[in-house]
């Protein structure tokens, strides 16, 4: 089990396009991956799940993974979120 906390850095937050980028990154790895907001925890490989987090800009997100590639998975997903998805930052 591996986990890391990251803040959503873009203005619009995790809407559909960022959610798709998170999922694209997460499905690469052989392990379970989750993203967690203060109120909800969802499967990072499900686009609908990640969208229902409704994590707005500035929200603290916990990325966690469990399985053979958990370290790489958490690193990759955290990097994607940190990048701000190529959008306008807060």
Catalytic residues, which ones? 15
**Residue placing its CB nearer to another protein in the complex, 1 or 5:** 5
Backbone angles phi, psi at 46, to 5 degrees: -115, 120
Note whether 20 binds another protein by CB under 8 A.
yes
Please count the other Cβ atoms lying within 10 Å of the Cβ belonging to residue 49. Answer: 17
C-alpha span between 72 and 79 (Å, rounded): 10
How far apart are CB 27 and another protein at their closest, in Å? 7
Binding mask 43-62 for another protein (x = CB under 8 A): ----x---x--xxxxx----
C-alpha span between 75 and 90 (Å, rounded): 22
Q: Which residues bind another protein (CB under 8 A)?
A: 12-13, 15-17, 19-21, 23-24, 27, 47, 51, 54-58
């Amino acid at each position: 089990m591996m986990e890391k906390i990251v803040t959503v850095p873009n203005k619009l937050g995790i809407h559909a396009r960022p959610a798709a980028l998170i999922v694209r990154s997460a499905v690469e790895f052989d392990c379970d991956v989750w993203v967690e907001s203060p109120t909800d925890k969802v499967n990072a490989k499900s686009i609908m799940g990640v969208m229902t987090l409704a994590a707005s800009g500035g929200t603290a997100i916990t990325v966690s993974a469990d399985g053979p590639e958990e370290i790489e998975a958490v690193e990759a997903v955290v990097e994607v979120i940190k990048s701000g998805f190529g959008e306008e930052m807060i």
